[in-house]
Amino acid sequence: MSNQEIAERLYDIADMLEIEGVQWEPRAYRTAAMTILTLNTDVTVFYNEGRLTELEGIGKSISKSIEEYIKTGEISKYEKLKKKYPIDFESFRKVRGLGPKRAYLLYKKLGIKDTHSLAYAIEKHKIMSLEGFGEKSEKELAKNLDTFLKLKENRKPLGYVIDYIENLVTSLRKNKLFERVELAGSTRRMRDTVGDFDILAVSSNPEDAMELFSKMKGVTNIVVKGPTKTTVDLDIGLSCDIRIVKMASFGSAMQYFTGNKDHNIKLRKIAISKGLKLNEYGIFRGTKKIAGQTEEGVYKTLGLDMMQPELRENMGEVEASQHHKLPKIVEYNEILGDLHTHTRDSDGANSLEDLAEYAHNLGRRYIALTNHSAGLKIANGLDEERFRAINKKIDSFNSKSEIMVLKGVELEILKDGSLDLSNKILSEMDFVIGAIHQNLKMSPSDLTGRLIKAINSGRINAIAHPTDRMIGEREALPLNFDKVFDACEKNNVLIEINGFPNRSDLPFDLVKRAKEHGGIKFSLGSDAHRLEHLKFIRLSTAIARRGWLTSKDVVNTISYKDLLKLRR
C-alpha cells in the first residue's frame, strides 16, 4: 500500500462527489489527496502514531476513510460510489478536457468507462452526436487521448517518489549487513521522471543482505533474487534493483550505473583510445586493474575532470571535461529563497505566516508570495483590492520576521498578450511572474507572440513554467523559444524553473539552450500550494544543475535586498 494508492482513491471519491453535486467535499478530498501524495513518509506512520488529523486538509471524516483503507484495503464510501460510477477516473483525470461530469455523461450515454472504450467511441464517431460535444469536441478529445496514451509510460515524476526511495536507502544504511548503500541511475542524475530505481551496495554477507532487502516494507513481489542482484516490485508501482559490488569496484560501478547510455559509450571509447578497458568493475590495462574504487579515480584515469551526476547526459559534458571547462554548477545549499508560492488567499492551503515559518525552518531566507491574479478564476484569482490587503499584511509581517516575504503575483497573460492587472498595482509588487494557463489551443506563432507581448510590457520579472507542460497529461506549448529567449534577454526578464513535480518546467535541455543563448538569468520556484510543496525547490535546483547553471545564473542565490535592487 502506497501514499499514491491512497491518494488516487481520495481523488476518485472527490470526482464522484462532484458528479453527485456535493458542494464542499470534493475540494476537501482533493486537498487531502495532494497532502498524502507529497508526504515525505508513508502515511501509515502518521496513522500508527495517531497523527492523521495533524496533516493538512485531513479532518476526522477523511481520516476515518484513510484508516479504513489502511486496515481493510477498501473505503466503504468509495465502494458505494463506485457501484454507481464504474469509471476509470484515474486515467480520465489525465485526459485534458475530460472532467468528472463530462466523463459521467459519456458513461451514461455511451457506456464509456475507460480509455479503451473511449478510443472505440471516438473511432466510430459516436461522441460528436452527443449534446455538449460535437465534431470539434470529438476531434479535440481524440487528440488529448492520443497525447495521454503517448505520454503514459511507467514513469513517475521524481518529486513524488524521491522521498520514498531515499527513506528506503536510509533504512538499508542503518542495517549492519551493509557497509555502503547509494542510489544510482536516473534518480541520482535527478531526471524529472523515473521508471525504476537502482541501488548499489557493499556487503560482506550478500545472501543475508539480499534476504533483508527482499523482505523490506513496500516490497510487493520478488522478480529476481540472487547473491549479487535482486529485483523487486514496490508498492508505489515501480521496480527496484539492488546490486552488491566489491568496495574496490564501487566507484566504477557508481559511474557505470549513473551516467546515461550515451555518456557511458563515450567514456568507453576514450578508454579504448588509451589502450584501456572500462566496465562496471573498473579500468583495466590488460588484466591489471588500475582504477575503480572511486568515481574520481575513474574519471582522472581517463584524463577527465569529475562530472557531477546531474551532468551525465551526453550534452557536451565529456568534451568540456576533457578541456577542463566544466562549469561550477549551482549548489543546493546556495539557494536562499523560493520565488513562487501560494497561500489560501488564492488556491493554496496555508496562511502567509505558516508558509513563511515552514520555509524558514527549511533554511529559506525569503519567499515570494505569488498568488494568482483575477484572470484565473478557477484558482480563486485575486483582484487589486485583495492584493493591496495582502501586501499591507506582508509589510506588517516583514517588520517583525526573520524570513522576508516579497509582494508578488502569478499574473495571468490573457489571450491577446495583455495583463489582467493594472500597471499601478503591478508597480507596487516586488516580484511579478507572468503565466499562461488558459486558451492554449492557439497556433505556435500566436502563442509565441502572446508571450512575447507580455515580456515586452516591462511589467513582469519572470515567465512562470514557460512550456506549461504537465508530465503524463499535457505536452509542452509549441513556442518558438529562440524568439522567447531574445525577448527575455532584451527586457531583462527571468525564466522560471518550476519545481512542481508534474511540471518540472523549464526542462533541463531548454535551460541549457537558454544559458547558451547568453544574457539570460533564471528564477527558481517550488510553486508551493501547501507546506509540503516547499521542498520542491530542490527539484528546481536539480534542473538548474542539469542545465549547467552556475550560482551567477540563478537569482535565488542573492540576498533579499539585492533581489529588490534587481527588481527596481
237 and 256 in a common domain? no
Domain boundary among 277, 302, 322: 322
Q: What is the pLDDT of residue 568?
A: 60
343 and 217 in a common domain? no
Domain boundary among 191, 209, 244: 244
pLDDT along the chain (568 residues), means of 10: 81 93 88 81 82 86 89 88 91 85 91 89 88 86 82 80 94 95 96 94 94 92 90 91 95 95 93 93 93 96 96 96 96 98 92 96 97 89 95 96 96 95 94 94 94 96 95 88 96 97 94 94 96 95 98 97 83
508 and 371 in a common domain? yes
First and final C-alpha spacing in the chain: 51
For residue 449, what is the enclosing H or E element? helix 444-455
- Taking the mean position of all CA atoms in its chain, how far away is CA 112? 31
Among the listed residues 408, 349, 346, 428, the one whose alpha carbon sits nearest the alpha carbon of residue 379: 346
554 and 507 in a common domain? yes
Residue 149: inside a domain: no
**Tens digit of each residue's pLDDT (9 = 90 or more) over 525-539:** 999 998 999 999 999
240 and 285 in a common domain? no
Residue 438: inside a domain: yes
Q: Looking at beta carbons, which pairs linking 15-23 to residues 24 or more positions away fall under 8 Å? A: 15/89, 15/93, 15/100, 15/103, 16/78, 16/81, 16/82, 16/84, 16/85, 16/89, 16/100, 17/81, 18/99, 18/100, 18/101, 19/85, 19/100, 19/101, 19/104, 20/81
459 and 371 in a common domain? yes
**Tens digit of each residue's pLDDT (9 = 90 or more) over 489-516:** 999 999 999 999 999 999 999 999 999 9
CA distance 373 to 422: 11
Q: Which residues contact 178 (CB under 8 A, 6 or more apart)?
A: 172, 201, 202, 203, 209
CA distance 365 to 27: 32
Which stretches within 274-348 are classed as H helix? 295-301, 317-322
CATH of the domain at 299: 3.30.210.10
85 and 188 in a common domain? no
Q: How many residues does the chain have?
A: 568
Kindly report the pTM of this predicted structure.
0.83
Beta bridge partners of 432: 409
**Tens digit of each residue's pLDDT (9 = 90 or more) over 29-63:** 988 888 887 776 778 888 888 888 888 788 888 99
Q: What is the pLDDT of residue 151?
A: 62
CA distance 554 to 23: 43
Q: Give the cell for residue 142.
A: 481524440
Residue 38: inside a domain: yes
Could you identify the residue written with the cell 559509450? 265
| Cα→Cα distances 166→160, 189, 297, 400, 439, Å | 12, 14, 26, 37, 39
Domain boundary among 188, 209, 244: 244
Q: Is 343 left (phi over 0), alpha (psi -120 to 50) or beta?
A: beta
545 and 428 in a common domain? yes
Exposed/middle/buried for residue 333 (C-beta within 10 Å: 0-12, 13-18, 19+): exposed
Which residues in 486-564 belong to E strands, given as ranges?
494-498, 522-525
Structural domains in the chain (count) = 4
Taking each helix axis from N to C end, the angle separating 444-455 and 481-491, rounded to the nearest 10 degrees, works out to: 10
| DSSP 8-state symbol, 371 | P
Q: Give the cell for residue 198.
A: 537502482
CATH of the domain at 389: 3.20.20.140
CA distance 201 to 169: 10
CA atoms within 13 A on the CB side of 520: 29
Angle at 502 between CA 530 and CA 347, to 5 degrees: 35
Q: What is the pLDDT of residue 144?
A: 85
Asked whether the beta carbons of 37 and 31 are under 8 A apart, the reply is: no
382 and 503 in a common domain? yes
Q: What is the pLDDT of residue 153?
A: 61
How do strand 522-525 and strand 494-498 relate by DSSP bridges? parallel
Residue 151: inside a domain: no
Residue 81: inside a domain: yes
462 and 389 in a common domain? yes
510 and 377 in a common domain? yes
CA distance 43 to 48: 9
Query: Which structural domain, as residue segments, surrounds residue 540?
Result: 332-567
| DSSP 8-state symbol, 476 | P
CATH of the domain at 166: 3.30.460.10
Residue 447: inside a domain: yes
Among the listed residues 525, 544, 552, the one whose alpha carbon sits nearest the alpha carbon of residue 310: 544
Q: Give the cell for residue 500.
A: 512542481
205 in helix, strand or coil? Answer: coil
Among the listed residues 66, 112, 67, 58, the one whose alpha carbon sits nearest the alpha carbon of residue 85: 112
For residue 193, what is the enclosing H or E element? strand 193-194
469 and 345 in a common domain? yes
